[in-house]
Structure 1
């Protein structure tokens, strides 16, 4: 049997919420509980024509691309120790945590179980998997596992990791990385009534109520933001994939997406789908776990799990070589000349800005992350939030540099294997805001949808040819030379990271003076 080697650890998949008895029975009747579902659809165009793309499913792709296997043998489940001991379970195994078996009438008692019991069961499964894969104490010491959760599955994972009354620290320490698709980490929100009410306990729907979440996540009662890892797990090892397409979520004949609202995947609000927490390394100030935004709905044929974007983010996070964080350090945002004249005359000017960002790897037809105004997923910042020394009474009092993206790169997944470099692009746009002059909207010479800055930046990360040398980075703007990276980026090294600066300068008004700062770290 092959030895367990990083980063290709066993993967445990934890599925999402099944809302009624029929859904539960359908769930337990599926060996892979949805992880095997693929899709030929990306989304519908305005004409009604469906854009076609063949995605076989995360399960099949992990088997094809990374030589993973399931743990079923002769109709039995190896992860649950149902198969004979002589049947080997390889380290590159995919395990389905079948927690809904306990709830079904076919395999269990037909009664709802608590999130705490699901979390406890996950810890038990991890321990069984370790004992089944590892033959010696030395192998057990090096055992690790990746956890992947969809929707409520991400909350089951957090319950296991964060609740001190569940499992043991030794078992929790076996988790290497966590990846969640569209999990409601800060609860489920409706436009009219707000958070799911605590009294709505039918089919355990109160699992998405914040008061109940505080209980099973081990958080103090009344915690306002329940998407915190609370120091129980390093947020740098936790990735959140956020869906931004409510339109194609067809559950309940589309009523779910109407009730939740447009800033969502049809069920989970965009702002509720990530986690925060103190980083394990104090030298790294990251407070929000790595995340990406994809124009996918919560589930279904247009869903986030059975999508190329989801798979590419999953495998790059679990197996990638490098992490790149892109921040925009803004020095100045200039006003249109006539608005500037009003400001010079003593008029009060108010403005806010939307930052769009699309990241994609070289040679791909899909995006790793996509935040655009038309899909309600941009970064929104008031002028005073970008420049606190000029902040007004309604601005947040701290300096907020927009984190545009976090991308993981994997040399083994290069589209063109003949090129050593890792290439990706950043399509960056800063939208012209609606200016207010003395509290009134300024409409003179204002055209909606205009940009202060918009360009695609092509980036090529070049690995060192000799030991002791550093990575290099070349970049280029499409407006200068389309699809080319010819300029060498200035680089500095500190705290185990390389920081590259890409200057963004515009002399016209309105315009921007900023640096795109890329911070690259090894795995």
Structure 2
């Protein structure tokens, strides 16, 4: 990442003309919306917490500027190339042309036209700011518009066939990071109707909703030179196929897990889509396969929405501006010899100084981590990925706390399953087979990056008073800028075998 780059926000689906007319009334397409409610405690009771909005926080925390002055397009047109501040916020106002509130005749909306217009706007922002690339931040359908630009519009516009082999441009030349909130990367599916609702929607294009079905998604995500007339049988919309064009390392997906609080259609949407969702997008469809991601207990939008949340913003800020990436995997697990047991893990990540969880996968939110038993052909150290998070060495910390700290709370649970049914004769409700928290401190020493780790069950002071001491963990990765170590499970996890451990990898982000 090079310095502070322009951010372009791409909003989500507005529905029919009345929804579009309402959307264009907002100067910032919703990026300016904050919230005052959070749910806390085991019962999820609502309490007051004031989140200002992503727009204001980017301005106050990272000194971004809004340069509107009557109209952002007019402002950009009036400026000389390379003179506009790079630390600037822009809104892709793709719905304006489809609104009926202006004097011009509205045009029909399509993802393809919005993606082409996004590329035009990206090029204008790059020209006027002199920035090497932009960040794209998108909510819901906005992520599909962004992906259409990345996967189809740019390859078709700047292909080797059109410009010559030495002049081909990749999406990575235009976009540095893509961050999505609740985007239906795998489309929108329903938990009821046995596929009938999806078929009617896609066949008749009801309310424009066919853009979330496989045929239309295949059309706007696939370049013409590789597109077939029908969707290939094994095609998966969640896959971004060309890592050279745009590396998955540059993509981050925030996944909502709170269907209960999604208010659309007086709660009917969440009932139709099902509880394993944010109320509109099913959890399994909100991810780009292999991309960075975080699960947060927020709904698709509304009072408890994703965009207007501290959880969403903190993941956004650390992905765009953080300089350290941390991943944690369980490795070398040897399961007890009982073929009827199925295993799940839960993970929660918190960063010191933040009042929220950065990531939370839990059975209660319909998104536990499924642990598959090792097959004979699998490597002995096959990992169970737990979490990936980003941190910033410049974030504020308590005095005399030189390290960045995050905690990883891990629970491992087992259930007895026979013939696809669960049996409870030896089950203990509200208990787990393993439950502990790893305290991870990341800092810098003379030799470069270093980390310390301790299990909460083995420290003898309150967590806020704990300071790591002694030598850091041994770095097992010789590459510069990357650090890796094994942390043995505490005694409570030794039933997974003597070699069972947590693998930590820390690396500098460039």
TM-score, normalisation: structure 2: 0.86
Aligned-partner Cα distance in 2 for 1:312–1:123: 27
SS of the aligned residue for 1:143 comes to coil
CA contact (8 A) 1:120 1:167 kept: no
| Cross-structure match for 2:318 | 316
Aligned length: 476
The answer to whether the aligner puts 1:27 opposite 2:38 as a matched pair is: no
Residues 423-459 of structure 1 deviation map (CA, whole Å, 9 limit, x = unaligned): 10000110132254x9885543321332111011111
Secondary structure class of the residue paired with 1:163: helix
The answer for the alignment partner of 1:290 in structure 2 is 292
Equivalent-residue separation in structure 1 for 2:44 and 2:347 (angstroms): 27
Superposed, 1:5-20 pairs within 5 Å as 6-20=2-16
Q: Does 1:361 align with 2:351?
A: yes
SS at match of 1:433: strand
Task: Indicate the larger mover: 449-458 or 486-495.
Answer: 486-495
CA contact (8 A) 2:82 2:129 kept: no
Q: Give the corresponding residue for 1:304.
A: 306
Which position in structure 2 is the counterpart of 1:445? Answer: 426
Instruction: Tell me the distance in 1 between the aligned counterparts of 2:85 and 2:493.
Output: 60
Alignment of 1:34-433 (within 5 A): 34-43=30-39, 49-73=45-69, 75-78=70-73, 81-83=76-78, 89-107=84-102, 109-134=105-130, 143-163=132-152, 166-168=156-158, 170=169, 172=171, 173-192=173-192, 193-194=194-195, 196-197=198-199, 198-218=202-222, 220=227, 221-222=231-232, 223-231=234-242, 232-276=245-289, 288-334=290-336, 349-381=339-371, 385-389=372-376, 401-416=383-398, 419-433=401-415
- Whether the 8 Å CA contact 2:489–2:502 is kept in 1: the answer is yes
Structure 1 stretch 512-521 or stretch 44-53: which is displaced more? 44-53
1:520 maps to which of 489, 506, 509: 506
- Answer with 246-255 or 39-48: which moved more: 39-48
Normalization by structure 1: what TM-score? 0.84
1:417–1:409 Cα change, 3 Å: farther
- 2:331–2:381 CA contact under 8 A, matched in 1: no
SS of the counterpart of 2:33? coil
Match of 2:164 in 1: none
Structure 2 counterpart SS, 1:183 = coil
How does 1:430-509 map onto structure 2 within 5 Å?
A: 430-436=412-418, 442-464=423-445, 466=446, 469-481=447-459, 482-483=462-463, 484=466, 485-486=468-469, 488-496=472-480, 497-506=482-491
CA contact under 8 A between 1:313 and 1:408: conserved in structure 2? yes
Q: For the residues of structure 1 that align with 2:380 and 2:393, how far apart are their CA atoms?
A: 38
CA contact (8 A) 1:151 1:180 kept: yes
Given that residues 210 and 226 in structure 1 are in contact (C-alpha distance below 8 angstroms), is that contact kept between their aligned partners in structure 2? Answer: yes
Structure 1 unaligned spans of 5+? 135-141, 277-287, 336-342, 344-348, 392-396
Distance change >3 Å, CA 148–CA 374, structure 1 → 2: same
Q: How large is the Cα RMSD of the aligned pairs?
A: 2.7
In structure 2, the gaps of 5 or more residues are 159-167
Contact 1:184 1:208 in 2 (8 A): yes
How far apart are the structure 2 equivalents of 1:508 and 1:235?
33
The CA deviation string for residues 143-176 of structure 1, in whole angstroms up to 9 with x for no partner, is 2110011000000000000015644353731211
Q: Go from structure 1 to structure 2 and tell me whether the alpha carbon gap of 1:14 and 1:128 turns closer, same or farther (over 3 Å shift).
A: same
Q: Separation in 1 of the partners of 2:120 and 2:380?
A: 44
